[in-house]
Structure 1
Amino acid sequence: MARFRLPLLTALGLFVAVLALAAAFTDRHYMLLSVVLLLAALLPLFIRLERRPLQSRELVLLAVLSAIAAVSRIPFAALPSVKPVSAVVILSAYVFGAEAGFVIGAVAALVSNIYFGQGPWTPWQMFAWGMIGLTAGWLRTSWLLSKRAGLLVFGFLWGFLFGWIMNIWVIISLPDAFNWRLVAATFAASFYFDLAHALSNVFFLAVLAGGWTKVLQRFRKKYGLLQE
């Protein structure tokens, strides 16, 4: 998906810029920030519309996968940080590419928080899950994701990276002056939750990777969905 690398990088740049500006806004602006990030996530699709007709069934596919990723959080709501969302985003990006993974991850975060509650954390979750999809799509032909063990390692690492991204929001939102003890305390407090997320990613990827990936690949090949 090299021809869409620039739009993806542009969308990623907008994500980072909006998150940087978020520190200057009060919490009541989080929905506006979420909408801006949603538009940024959809930017690659808008570019694709200009370069080639985007089939309606491709939009339906992205919407369905985003909904599956979002709804998958609900059955595990009682288990902190245990959720199949990351696994669904990774496998979707593995089959359909970085563009789709980026959109699915960002939209899943926004939609799932309709149930879990919107807040100033929503834009950061959109960014984190979008990055999971983006990197999985970029690395899908690499030696790392070409092997099952590498896929599990990738999911494990992103369990921690996701938590570290959310830690940045926590540190920024705290009223205390920035200091390294605060940073250390924040990361130490999140370790259990990050580990739970990492291990759950390994579990759900191990369970879903075979059958789920084959089904998606069959749909992609049969209907020519999201071809490069």
Structure 2
Amino acid sequence: MQQTTKRNNPIVNKRFIVTSIIALIIIPLCLVIGVTLWEDRRYNILSLIIVLFACVPFFISFEQKKPKPREILIIAVMSAIGVAGRAAFIWAPAFKPVTAIVAITGFAFGPAAGFLTGATTAITSNILFVQGPWTPFQMFTWGILGYFAGILGRTKWMEHKIPLIIYGFFSGILYSVIMDIWTVVSYDGEFSWKRYLAAAGTAIPFTATYAVSNIFFLLVLAKPIGEKLSRIKIKYGILE
């Protein structure tokens, strides 16, 4: 009965629709504008715009209920863990737990939380790793990985090892696929399939290592962190 109520909750459905529009349409359009019109010169403004858009689904959920600061607090905590994890493995450029942390948040709290965690982790961790025109693309990439994780988290699949391995593998590939777009466009503002394929080929060792790291961290962290997040969700009724 509880599951049915959540599924039919108009606030939840509205937030999912808005999150999908923002993640799949609005933010990609913002990236195109940033690359073509601004020529990556105003990446800091674009990064702020992405964060603001990522927060919109949470504002929607506040329309018909009293805002709960702990809903945003849990996102901040998971983002901080992602930043710490990325910093801890600074010696291994392609071996990071960020995608795993973002995905686990999405599994537990849904697409909106997953996207916002990914976006904020990218912009915050780049304070340590240097901000640049690549930051908005990293925000979108980790955000979209969290978004897809949130959709998958609505099923029971991600409670098993094989789906986690599959997600970890393909998320590593998707990260590289999206970031290689920025690599190509950053040369002269134009996209070329020839250069894209060359960049993708050059990035194969990075992509493979990152996919393996995603699998490793998901298998190690998904159960212990996921169980704690589930208890928090049930106890306080947050992000539902």
Letter in 2 for 1:108: T
Q: Which whole-Å CA distance do the structure 2 matches of 1:179 and 1:224 have between them?
A: 48
Q: Alignment RMSD, CA only?
A: 1.6
Structure 2: tracts of 5 or more residues without a match: 1-11
Match of 1:2 in 2: 13
Match of 2:95 in 1: 82
TM-score, normalisation: structure 1: 0.94
Matches within 5 A, 1:133-144: 133-142=146-155, 144=157
Q: Which whole-Å CA distance do the structure 2 matches of 1:144 and 1:33 have between them?
A: 35
Q: Which whole-Å CA distance do the structure 1 matches of 2:186 and 2:179 have between them?
A: 11
Distance 1:56 1:179, change over 3 A: closer
Match of 1:43 in 2: 56
Deviation at 1:143, TM superposition (A): 6.0
TM-score, normalisation: structure 2: 0.89
Contact 1:83 1:197 in 2 (8 A): yes
Q: Which whole-Å CA distance do the structure 2 matches of 1:136 and 1:5 have between them?
A: 13
* Aligned structure 1 segments of 4 or more residues deviating by more than 6 angstroms: none
Contact 2:39 2:189 in 1 (8 A): no
Letter in 1 for 2:193: W
Match of 2:235 in 1: 222
Distance 1:20 1:219, change over 3 A: same
Letter in 2 for 1:52: K
Deviation at 1:122, TM superposition (A): 0.3
Match of 1:18 in 2: 30
Distance 1:178 1:38, change over 3 A: closer
Match of 2:110 in 1: 97
Match of 2:9 in 1: none
Q: 1:29 aligns with which of 42, 56, 60?
A: 42
Deviation at 1:136, TM superposition (A): 0.6
Q: Which whole-Å CA distance do the structure 2 matches of 1:216 and 1:47 have between them?
A: 22
Q: Which moved more, 1:184-193 or 1:51-60?
A: 51-60
Distance 1:58 1:177, change over 3 A: closer
Letter in 1 for 2:224: G
**1:113 corresponds to 2:126:** yes
Contact 1:14 1:37 in 2 (8 A): no
Distance 1:173 1:57, change over 3 A: same
Match of 2:7 in 1: none
Distance 1:213 1:27, change over 3 A: same
Q: Which moved more, 1:111-120 or 1:170-179?
A: 170-179
Q: Which whole-Å CA distance do the structure 2 matches of 1:155 and 1:11 have between them?
A: 24
Q: Which moved more, 1:172-181 or 1:14-23?
A: 172-181
Deviation at 1:176, TM superposition (A): 8.7
Match of 2:144 in 1: 131
Match of 1:184 in 2: 197
Letter in 2 for 1:117: V
Percent identity between matched residues is 37
Letter in 1 for 2:196: V
Q: Count residues in correspondence.
A: 227
Q: Which whole-Å CA distance do the structure 1 matches of 2:138 and 2:203 have between them?
A: 15
Letter in 2 for 1:157: F
**1:200 corresponds to 2:228:** no
Letter in 2 for 1:66: S
Distance 1:143 1:223, change over 3 A: closer
Contact 2:15 2:58 in 1 (8 A): no
Letter in 2 for 1:4: R
Q: Which whole-Å CA distance do the structure 2 matches of 1:144 and 1:195 have between them?
A: 24
Distance 1:173 1:94, change over 3 A: same
